Amino acid sequence: MEEDIQEENIQIVVLGSARHFTDAAVRMHRAIFPDEFIVSLGQRFLRRYYHAFSESPYGVVLVAVRGKDVVGGLLGSVDPVQHYRRLTRRHGSTLALSLLMSALARPKVAKALVETRLKRYVLGVLRQLSPARHQPPAQSAESASPSPAESSANETSLNHLPADPRVGEITHLFVDPELRGLGIGAKLVSVYEEKARHSGVDCVELVTLPFEEGGAGRFYERLGWRVKSSITSRSGESFELYEKWFQGDSLARP
């Protein structure tokens, strides 16, 4: 895997420090997830979403680059609650206006927004804008020094995992279809996992379709992830929830 990546001269970079790759990453995202709701809102909205995502100290936006070309990408966070709270408070009005303009220009998108998401979005925004409940302070994604949470995770055993673990998540992973099988996706996940570890995350999660419906579960299983449960979305779709626990440099699970 690693040899293939080196032969292809592929690098993994953080989008926040390489904003000039944003448009290419957004175009590939749209091409690979054409039916996703945020994709239906158009290039401009998704570009703003990427900028807001990468600006957050809790967000992780990685791009795989070969020369000047983007060949893959990953979006995730090391603290979803803090991340989406920051997105709402710092970029909520801009994203909401962009969403509204996109919906007004696309009747089908407006209909889908009203029928399936508007109430949930409004309630979510109100929750994020309300005074935060008391909780332990989250560590910035840029911090690479060992934290109490990280030290605690390193000292636990398989039977004594953190009672209140910090959980990170991957929300999107994509690779140029013509370059799949070269280990690019595995490298993107590996870099994300390393950032999650350094941020004091105990466990990381992601959701994918069941394998028989085209899901990537077997890919993640090869990387040490395991199925936690099956879940059903509000629209009735079935998904598999995967997780990976960290214990020092080894994999742990309750």
Cα separation, 156 vs 94, whole angstroms? 43
**CA gap 147, 145 in Å, rounded:** 6
Q: What distance in Å separates the CA atoms of residue 124 and residue 119, rounded to the nearest whole number?
A: 8
pTM assigned to the model: 0.73
Q: Output the tens digit of pLDDT for each of the chain's 254 residues.
A: 333 444 458 899 998 877 899 999 999 999 999 988 788 888 888 998 899 999 999 999 999 999 889 999 999 999 999 998 888 888 767 766 666 666 666 666 555 544 554 444 433 444 444 444 433 333 332 222 333 333 333 333 344 456 688 999 999 999 999 999 999 999 999 999 999 999 999 999 999 999 888 889 999 999 999 999 998 876 678 899 999 999 744 444 54
DSSP 93-156: HHHHHHHHHHHHH-HHHHHHIIIIIHHHHHHHHHHHHSPPPP-PPPPPTT--S--HHHHHHHH-
Task: For tokens 């909205």, name the residue.
Answer: 45
| 116 token code pair | 């399936």
Could you give the 3-state DSSP secondary structure of residue 127?
Answer: helix
CB of 182 within 8 A of CB of 10? yes
CATH of the domain at 245: 3.40.630.30
Q: Residue 13 in contact with residue 63, Cβ under 8 Å? A: yes
Domain count, the chain: 1
Instruction: Give me the domain span that covers residue 105.
Output: 2-252
Interatomic CA distance for residues 102 and 98, integer angstroms: 6
